[in-house]
């Protein structure tokens, strides 16, 4: 199995209209284009790689239902704590990614307040 970052990591300001996962993802894509968002994205890539190794053990062959794209959203607090994590669709791989991300401590976001993150990954055999 392989996990490929499609959008890598995108960041978003929290908008009241973007409370659902698709709205938060769309807002994240727009905000990721900023220099601050891009720099913060890059700082998280090593952690995403490590989680990929945990959730994607070498030699694993997954059933077709496990393959495809999943989206993870969550909020990083000013203290570097990830909260409000949600994944879609729910699969064992996406749940593993969410659980592993919750274990990490993050750098403070580049702006005041909570900072939603969006990770879109493609899982293949």
CB 119 within 8 A of CB 71: yes
How distant, in Å, are the alpha carbons of 85, 102, 112 from that of 96? Answer: 12, 10, 29
How many separate domains does the chain show?
1
Which pLDDT does position 58 carry in this prediction? 80
The CATH code of the domain that includes 99 is 3.30.1150
Taking residue 50's Cβ as centre, other Cβ atoms within 10 Å add up to 12
Q: Is the confidence at residue 57, as pLDDT, over 80?
A: yes
Which pLDDT does position 99 carry in this prediction? 97
What range defines the domain where residue 106 resides? 2-124
Which pLDDT does position 115 carry in this prediction? 84
At 16, list the tokens: 């009241």
Q: Report the DSSP beta bridge partners of residue 105.
A: 81
Q: Would you say the pTM of this structure is higher than 0.85?
A: no
């Amino acid at each position: 199995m392989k996990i490929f970052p499609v959008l890598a990591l995108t960041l978003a300001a929290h908008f009241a209209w973007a409370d659902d996962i698709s709205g938060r993802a769309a807002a994240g894509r727009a905000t990721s284009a900023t220099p601050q968002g891009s720099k913060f994205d890059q700082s998280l890539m090593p952690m995403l790689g490590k989680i990929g190794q945990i959730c994607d053990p070498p030699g694993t062959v997954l059933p077709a239902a496990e393959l495809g794209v999943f989206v993870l959203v969550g909020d990083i607090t000013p203290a570097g704590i990830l909260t409000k994590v949600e994944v879609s669709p729910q699969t064992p791989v996406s749940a593993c990614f969410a659980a592993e991300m919750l274990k990490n401590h993050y750098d403070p976001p580049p702006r005041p307040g909570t900072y939603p993150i969006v990770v879109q990954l493609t899982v293949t055999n």
